[in-house]
Amino acid sequence: MDRRKLSSAVEAIREADSVVAMTGAGVSSASGIPDFRSDDGIWTRYDPNAFHISRFRTDPGGFWNERVELIEELFGKAIEPNAAHVALAELESAEYLDTLITQNIDGLHQAAGSEKPIEIHGNGQRAVCTGCDSRFGIDPIVERVESGETPPTCERCGGILKPDVVLFGESLPKSALLEAQAASRDADVFLAIGSSLTVEPAASLPRHALDRGEVLVIVNLDRTELSDRADYDFRADVTDVLPALTEAVLQE
Ligand SMILES: [Zn+2]
């Protein structure tokens, strides 16, 4: 890691009035969660159409039967936050990180201690009632599906439950997106972490940050869409860079 580049990025974070971070698949895969879009990702083994919102609407029972397999693959084994999750939570509790936006659906930022990440693609550890909007932990719902309750329904209103994530064909939750955009607009420094910055509309957040003259720090193993324009482009493991960055920011 280039120490001079690191300390210069650290300086920018320490001097900023507002810092926003956005995390993508690279932060989850460091915890052993298979990613969706890579060459051997989830969507090479599952048919994305099976999880489209129109499939959910026309055949919720069949949808859930296939969905539980996917949920088992994503969350079946014990998953733990990694050093990048922990570093971001530390940065937040020391008040150097104002807003955390995540494209990930695994809830690991909260598990690491982040207070209220903006989850623009939802949270796969929960189900939501399509009738009354109540939210439930996913584990008992998976058990109910596996014991034949397809589709699972809400114990409060009888409505059909849906994984609390953005399915194909669904738009992003408007309030989360507006909140993410507002926080990005107010930021001086934007950290884009573990994302190839190709999936819209999340990719436009750092692009607009650059257009406004904010400092863009990218941490990602591979080159990203915005690597050429970024102020700092760390092409390295998120679990190496984030702890080093946080440690340096917190140093007196
Ligand atoms: Zn309900």
What was the pLDDT predicted at 55?
97
Residues with CB in 5 Å of ion ligand 1: 129, 131-132, 134, 154, 156-157, 159
Task: Please state, in angstroms and rounded to a whole number, the distance separating the CA atoms of residues 236 and 207.
Answer: 21
DSSP character at residue 119:
E
Q: Left, alpha or beta for 166 (phi > 0: left; psi -120 to 50: alpha)?
A: beta
Cα 51 to ligand 1 centre (Å): 21
Q: Quick count: other Cβ atoms within 10 Å of Cβ 226?
A: 22
Task: Please state, in angstroms and rounded to a whole number, the distance separating the CA atoms of residues 221 and 235.
Answer: 5
Residue 121 annotated in active site: yes
Cα 134 to ligand 1 centre (Å): 6
Cα 131 to ligand 1 centre (Å): 5
Its pTM stands at: 0.93
* Strands (DSSP E) found in the chain: 19-23, 99-102, 118-119, 122-129, 135-137, 161-165, 189-193, 215-219, 232-234
* Maximum CA extent, the chain: 59
What was the pLDDT predicted at 199?
83
- Per-10-residue mean pLDDT, the chain, length 252: 90 97 95 81 85 96 95 85 98 97 96 96 95 96 96 97 95 93 96 92 92 97 94 96 97 82
Sole residue written with tokens 């926003």:
20
What was the pLDDT predicted at 38?
75
Q: Quick count: other Cβ atoms within 10 Å of Cβ 147?
A: 8
Cα 172 to ligand 1 centre (Å): 21
- Name 35's Cβ contacts closer than 8 Å, sequence gap at least 6: 25, 26, 28, 29, 41, 42
Asked if omega into 201 is within 30° of 0 (cis), the reply is yes
- 88-113 tens-digit pLDDT: 999 999 999 999 999 999 999 999 99
Q: Which of 85, 109, 121, 208 is catalytic?
A: 121
Q: Quick count: other Cβ atoms within 10 Å of Cβ 230?
A: 20
Cα 158 to ligand 1 centre (Å): 6
Query: Which pair of tokens denotes residue 242?
Result: 């984030």
CA 187, 188, 191, 192: dihedral to nearest 10 degrees?
Answer: 70
Cα 154 to ligand 1 centre (Å): 5
Cα 162 to ligand 1 centre (Å): 11
What was the pLDDT predicted at 45?
84
Question: Which residue in 61, 57, 98 sits closest to 185, CA to CA?
Answer: 98
Cα 160 to ligand 1 centre (Å): 7
- Name 49's Cβ contacts closer than 8 Å, sequence gap at least 6: 55, 168
Tell me if 128 sits within 8 A of 40, measured CB to CB.
Answer: no
Cα 233 to ligand 1 centre (Å): 45
